[in-house]
Amino acid sequence: MTADPNLQKLITFKRRRLQKLQEQAALFGINTPPHIQIEIEDLTAELAELESRSQSRAGETETPPAPSGGRNVQIDGDARGNIIITGDSNTVNVAPPEQPAEKPTADPSIYARTPTTPTRICPRCRLESPADADRCRNCGYEFEM
């Protein structure tokens, strides 16, 4: 027999609200407003009551008998992401990770310096002009030769 889906939705909603309030309390630290602390306490109490009601309604779930000569494995968990596995042997064979392919390397000649034309920086507008120019291209400042 399964638990009431509406009850499960209510529990999920209350857990999410509690999580948000706990995050707010963590941000406020010691200066957490009283209304947040009170709501956290109330939600914790309500959740405990709802979860006990849900468990009493759900009852014990029957596990089917293991086939003869097979393994008896039971998997259980909760909404918080905890997974519990019990049984004869809890081993999982995982293949080793594949070696990544070698990355192609670029030709080092592309990183060689290309010749640049000499420039000078204008003290007024801070833009570059060719070194052989006698005036700044931008503001017309006259360079000293």
Domain ranges (residues) in the chain: 5-58
Question: Which residue in 59, 64, 14 sits closest to 41, CA to CA?
Answer: 14
Query: Which of 101, 130, 98 lies closest to 117, judged by CA?
Result: 130
Residue 40 has a pLDDT of: 92
Would the pTM count as exceeding 0.85?
no
Q: At 124, is the secondary structure helix, strand, or coil?
A: coil
| Residue range 16-31, pLDDT digits in tens | 999 999 999 999 888 9
Note the pLDDT of residue 56: 81
Contacts of 58 (CB under 8 A, 6+ apart): 1, 2, 3
Dump pLDDT digits (tens) for 84-138: 555 555 555 555 667 777 776 766 666 666 666 778 888 888 888 887 888 888 8
Mean pLDDT, the chain, rounded, equals 75
